[in-house]
Amino acid sequence: MLPYWLRYDLQGRWERFSQRVRGSGLLGWTSEYPRAVAGLAAGSILALLLVAVPRLFFDRASPLYTLDQEWYYDLNTGRLFVTDGGRTPPIDAPSGPLPDGGRAGVRACVLAYVDDPNETERVIGFLETTAAKESPAGRPLPSPPKNPAMEWAKGRLIRRLSDKDWVPADSPQGQAILSEAFVPNTKGERPFYCRPK
């Protein structure tokens, strides 16, 4: 409970403040200068529209973050290698082309549960490459909903290290692979992307 003198002081301050508000004639000022009030209201509405309309009607793709260096996986040797970031897989691998002549380097999502992991603490969550422009049936791929995760998944094929077949990242099978890669450990911690050094 507050001491008597503090309650008395606060009550006096409150009364003086309320008299100033009533005495300042804010209500009287608004009735005396209606054009100024209308101008303030119009300016506020205009400022709101200038901010809201571009966000609602003009779709800007969110920029995807690219790293300086990224992990890649050599399909011929089964080994990781590091190269410049921002490249579109498949790329040339250190071991050369695949037996069918294709490029053997695909992006690897390397995950870890600890900061600064050593080689044994790193895990390949999934492999990633890009899809052809059209589906095998000759129909264009459906455009996914507009959110950052689905924007990333558009046109990408992924698979587990142990899988043979690639699946679209935005398909139910691809979403299952992504969910499995980021499953929490026994301590409830989720893995995070391990950047190459």
Residue 64 inside a domain? The answer is no
Tell me which DSSP letter residue 69 carries.
Answer: E
Written as one string, the DSSP assignment of 100-159 is TS---EEEEEEEESSSS--GGG-EEEEEEEE--SB-TTSPBPPPPPSSHHHHHHTTEEEE
Both 41 and 88 in a single domain?
A: no
122 and 148 fall within a common domain: yes
Q: What's residue 74's pLDDT?
A: 95
Residue 63 lies in a domain: no
- Give me the pLDDT at residue 9, please: 83
Same domain, 125 and 46: no
pLDDT of residue 104: 92
Check whether residue 172 and residue 80 sit in a common domain: yes
Same domain, 88 and 132: yes
Tell whether 79 and 100 lie within a shared domain: yes
Residues facing 111 on adjacent strands: 123, 193
Tens of pLDDT along the chain (197 residues) come to: 677 777 788 888 888 777 766 666 666 667 777 888 888 889 888 888 888 777 776 655 555 556 788 999 999 999 999 998 888 899 999 999 999 999 999 999 999 998 888 888 899 999 999 976 544 444 455 554 556 666 777 889 999 999 999 999 888 998 899 889 989 888 888 898 888 87
84 & 166 share domain: yes
Q: For residue 160, what pLDDT is reported?
A: 94
Longest dimension (CA), the chain: 91
Is 143 a member of any domain? yes
Do 83 and 176 lie in one domain? The reply is yes
Same domain? For 34 and 115 the reply is no
Contact 94, 73 (CB under 8 A): no
* Sign of the dihedral through C-alpha 132, 133, 138, 139: positive
Buried b (16+ CB within 10 A) or exposed e, 153-183: bebbbbbeeeeeebbbbbeeebbebbeebee
pLDDT for the residue 135: 42
| Number of domains the chain contains | 2
pLDDT value of position 185: 87
Say what the pLDDT of residue 153 is. Answer: 74
State the Cα–Cα distance between residues 124 and 109, nearest whole angstrom.
Answer: 6
* 123, part of any domain: yes
172 — phi, psi (to 5°)?
-60, -40
Q: Does 108 lie in the same domain as 29?
A: no
Report the distance separating Cα 92 and Cα 106, nearest Å: 9
Dist. CA 43–CA 56, nearest whole Å: 20
| Rounded Cα–Cα distance for residues 11 and 43 (Å) | 38
Same domain, 156 and 85: yes
Let me know if residue 126 belongs to a domain.
yes
Identify whether residues 103 and 146 lie together within a single domain. yes
Residue 161 lies in a domain: yes
Within-domain flag for 101: yes
Whether 131 is covered by a domain: the verdict is yes
Could you list the residue range(s) of the whole structural domain that residue 28 is in?
A: 4-57
pLDDT score, position 136? 45
Residue 183 DSSP class: -
